Amino acid sequence: MSSWINWSRHLVRGGIAALALAALPAWADICRVTTGGAAGNAGADWRQPTTLASALARSACTEIWVAKGTYTGTGTIAFQITRNLQLYGGFEGNEIASTERATPIDASVTVLDGEDLRQVLVIDGTTGNSATTGSITSATVIEGLTITRGRAFWGGGIQCKAMGSAQPALTQNRTCSPTIRQVRFVANFADFGGALFLDAQTRGNASPTLTDVVFDGNGARTPVAVWTTGGAIYVSVDSNGQTSGT
């Protein structure tokens, strides 16, 4: 019987038009999320917060502020990112400016929980249909979160997808290289990449930047005794793919 191995605990260190435009708040693209948010809300302020799934799906939400609490999903994947955005946890739920967030950021207060049932987060850089779309770059920021109790075959905590195809024109921009900082991966499990799985097969490029990231008690199951399948991180790459990490 296969057993869970590769446990990890590591610290990776002019006029009416002009007036109308002037009246728009600087944070018009910020969406606010709480555990009690409603999918129909835009999340424009803390009094009418939206849900995390809705904010991630709404193209207008380029910056997402997530209040403290535990967030769960449904199905096999709790949450998905398919475009460049900034996802910040650690908010009390009353801030006007992001600088009002308590520092140092406590990643433990905002939790994305797979409930031992599903993958927590898929970051998908393969959704584009041309060489100029579909890329997840370092402009995508994930900060101040705990990713926990994910279960999946690939990447229980986060799966970073950049796998290409046999058509080079559709593959050139398949990239999953987000900025992940001040994030805790706790008690996630998978067959490959318990906490984080980087998929750069077939001309893909999965090269995230990790700063102040903690891996604690994650595990991967080794189906063959001679394989090491990455309790913390597993990298899947062939001769045509690219992957790196800092």
The per-residue pLDDT for 228 is 60
Question: Cα separation of 205 and 199, whole Å?
Answer: 8
Q: Which of 1-15, 22-36, 126-140, 147-161 has the lowest mean pLDDT?
A: 1-15
CB contact at 8 A, 214 and 185: yes
Token reading at 175? 């990239």
Q: What are phi and psi of 52, to 5 degrees?
A: -65, -45
**Average confidence (pLDDT) over 230-234:** 84
Q: Identify the residue whose tokens are 């992957």.
A: 243
Task: Give me the chain's average pLDDT, please.
Answer: 81
To 5 degrees, how large is the angle CA 75–CA 77–CA 82? 130
CB contact at 8 A, 74 and 50: no
pLDDT level of residue 40 (50, 70, 90 thresholds):
very high
Counting residues of the chain whose pLDDT is more than 90, the rounded percentage is 59
Q: What is the pTM of this model?
A: 0.82
Pick from 172, 191, 158: which is nearest to 241 by CA? 172
The per-residue pLDDT for 120 is 98
CB contact at 8 A, 70 and 94: no
